[in-house]
Amino acid sequence: MKQFLRNLQSLHIKLVIIYVLLIVIGMQIIGLYFTNTLERELTENFQDNIETQVDLIDTRIQELHTEYQDDLGTLSEEVQSLLSEFGNRPEIDEIRFINSDNILVATTRISNEPNIGSRINEPLTREAISTGSRNDEIFVNVNQDNQRTWLLNHPVVNNGQVLGAVYVSSNIETVYQQLEAINNTFIIATIISLIITSILGIFIARTITKPITDMRNQALMMSEGDYTSRVKIYSNDEIGELAGSFNILSKRVQEAQANTESERKRLDSVITNMSEGIIATDRKGRITVINEMALDMLNIPKDEDLHGKNMLKILRLDEEMTLEDIQEMNESQLLFTDSDYEAAIRANFSTIYKDTGFMNGYIAVLHDVTEQERIDNERREFVANVSHELRTPLTSMRSYIEALQEGAWQDDQLAPRFLSVTRDETDRMIRLVEDLLQLSRMDNEAEEINKEIVDFNMFLNRIIDRFEMTHKGEVEFIRNIPDTAMFSEIAMDKMSQVLDNVISNAIKYSNRENKRVEFHVKQNVLFNRMTIRIKDNGMGIPANKVDRIFERFYRVDKARARKKGGTGLGLAISKEIVEAHNGRIWANSLEGEGTTIFINLPCETLGEDGWDE
């Protein structure tokens, strides 16, 4: 039994079965279509023939009704004579005419003649008379050896009046007998074709499976390490070409087996480091493999062919090191493909050796350390800036204190001035330390922000009023603030600090006599946001420095900023506060025309029934 099931799973048996099934399915589809079509055609021809006779009867009855409508007896006799003329056909069992009162007027069946003048209780006939529409059905007549009978009820309508219905009972069994004879012939032809097809399928499948079986046996031998055998070629067709290709493959595998082990280590290195940039070379440093990540890191187009090119030249290290240095290198090499740490890459090199100890090539693994280098650079700049900011006032204070110790305190004019400068420098350091502490708390999310919903327009107007009082006659403040209240959830003390920083800078860095600061507030109802625009008419900021003014300790004009007493942290603190309010702050400036600071914050809308978030 197991051997029988195993034989059924062979390719030879499967091909024969598939071949036979295709023939069977094809012939069944053709037979089904042919039988259905033939049945429909024969049935329609049979029914059309009967309906043609009925149409003639219908026309003649209308003429007789017009001629003998007053003489019902003569009309009945003429109709009976008419039906007898058409009822002598062998396929017609009976023709009746029933008037509009369901009374049998005439019939061609002798056994029904006693029923003439009686009411006929046929549902389909009554339906045809009542609706004035033709109906028919095919049923199996148990009284006639279960033969199929077709019943037709055809209403006779004259000038819109239903005169009655013509009832026709015809034997349609002859049509189905013809179909059965044709089906039997088709079945016999199918059986004969299957026998012939099976015999041919066995021979055809054998010619296909024999060389395939040989190739299977050869593949089993190759899996055991025997590459010396060859497959016999039986023909020059596709299977023969496959056998020849299989023999060539066996030879190539035998030749490639010797190189597999040396390539395995290189492949393992590439697979291990695929998440980073990978460059593999031969022993002369010529690139053999480079992945897309390495191309992206080195800003090289993906369609550029680098195979065969020198790795050190691609990495821009050809002037700093040689391939011999790679073999002795213990540290990674830092590469910069762009300035200002916009793209920093660290390369780790390794050498590939064969089992014989012979050097076979090099691997370079590239790591993107841009973010790390940027953070380290910012940390170094921050420490340097803090040191510089503290050293300057401390140096100044030390100089004045030394002067006072040397006797300047006895000078009534110099002593107060030296003490005043010392106090100013002390205040400057206090402000610097306080700003640093505030930034530290905000970075660590330790700064508490107590928000409340306020009328921002009123809040902004109060701040502007305060600046107008302190700079009365010096600065012109222009307000373009809507009268409609705009509510926002803010921390008033923190947002006051932001606006104070921005407005103070707008006043402080203006180098014109007619100083002017403009305020514009606009609300975006669709997104529940509002934008505050504060513009001055000062000297402006160079285009390449606008984006950096929110960095810590960054100053466009360091000498002037220090002279004004700034710490370089005001806008950085403002940015932290605005972002803590789920907002955004940015700048736009043209040299010589002034600078505009934009502050975008979420706002609330007041509906009819209360707050709508």
Q: What is the number of other CB atoms lying within 10 angstroms of the CB of residue 391?
A: 10
Task: Read off the pLDDT of each residue in 454-465 and give the average, rounded to a whole number.
Answer: 89
Tell me what pLDDT residue 607 has: 47
Q: What does the pLDDT read at residue 598?
A: 93
The stretches of 307-365 forming alpha helices (DSSP H) are: 311-314, 323-328
pLDDT score of 612 more than 50: no
Beta bridge partners of 171: 149
Q: What is the mean pLDDT of residues 7-31?
A: 74
d(CA 603, CA 451): 13
pLDDT tens for residues 523-556?
888 888 999 999 988 888 887 778 778 777 666 6
Both tokens assigned to 185: 């012939």
> What number is the average pLDDT over the span 94-99?
86
| 155 beta partners | 165
Top pLDDT among 420 and 429 is at: 420
**What's the CA gap between 169 and 109, in Å, rounded?**
10
Is residue 476's pLDDT more than 60?
yes
Report, as an integer, the average pLDDT of 403-407. 76
Cα(505)–Cα(80) distance, rounded to whole angstroms?
120
95, 57 in Cβ contact below 8 A? yes
Cα separation, 484 vs 455, in Å, equals 10
More confident residue, 275 or 564: 275
Give dist(CA 114, CA 109) in Å, integer: 10
- Look at residue 7 and tell me whether its pLDDT is greater than 70: no
From 9-13, 258-262, 409-413, 468-472, the region with the lowest mean pLDDT: 9-13
Span(s) in the chain for CATH 1.10.287.130: 374-444
Coil/strand/helix, residue 167: strand
Top pLDDT among 265 and 321 is at 321
**Residue 322: its pLDDT value, please?**
83
Q: What is the mean pLDDT of residues 375-380?
A: 68
Distance separating alpha carbons of residues 75 and 149, to the nearest angstrom:
29
pLDDT tens, 178-235?
A: 888 888 888 888 888 888 877 877 777 777 777 777 777 777 777 777 767 777 777 6
Tell me the pLDDT tens digit for each residue of 141-157. 777 677 888 888 889 88
pLDDT of residue 314: 84
Among the four given CATH numbers 3.30.565.10, 3.30.870.10, 3.40.50.300, 3.50.50.60, the one describing domain 452-602: 3.30.565.10
The highest-level CATH class for domain 374-444 is: mainly alpha
Q: Give yes or no for a contact between 149 and 169, defined as CB atoms under 8 angstroms apart.
A: yes
pLDDT in tens, 322-353: 888 787 776 666 666 555 446 778 888 888 88
Average pLDDT for the chain:
78
The type of residue at 263 is E
Q: Please give the average per-residue pLDDT across 385-396, as a whole number.
A: 67
pLDDT digits (tens, 9 = 90+) for 288-321: 888 878 888 888 887 888 888 888 888 888 888 8
Give Cβ neighbours of residue 117 (< 8 Å, ≥ 6 apart).
103, 104
pLDDT for res 611: 41
Looking at residue 610, what is its pLDDT?
41
270-369: CATH class: alpha beta
pLDDT at residue 435 greater than cutoff 70: no
- Reported pTM: 0.41
Q: Quick one: pLDDT band at residue 592, thresholds 50, 70, 90?
A: confident
15's CB contacts (< 8 A; 6+ apart) are 201, 204, 205, 208, 209
Mean pLDDT, residues 500-525 taken together: 83
In this prediction, residue 388 has a pLDDT band, given cuts at 50, 70 and 90, of low
Quickly count: other Cβ atoms within 10 Å of residue 32's Cβ.
10
Residue 520: per-residue pLDDT: 93
CATH 3.30.565.10 positions along the chain are: 452-602
Rounded Cα distance, 592 and 543, in Å: 12
As a whole number, mean pLDDT of residues 410-430 equals 73
* CATH architecture of the domain with residue range 11-179: 2-Layer Sandwich (3.30)
In sign, the C-alpha dihedral spanning 484, 488, 492, 494 is negative
Kindly compute the dihedral angle of the four CA atoms of residues 74, 80, 83, 85, in this order, to the nearest 10 degrees.
-90
- 273-305 as b/e, with b when 16 or more CB fall inside 10 Å? beebbbbbbeeebebebbbebbbebbeeeeeee
pLDDT of residue 246: 75
Say yes or no to pLDDT of 563 above 60: no
- Residue 146 CA, chain-centre distance (Å), reads 65
At 299, give phi and psi (nearest 5°).
55, 45
Q: Percent of the chain, pLDDT > 90?
A: 2
Amino acid at 600: N
Q: Please give the Cα distance from 254 to 248 (Å, whole number).
A: 10
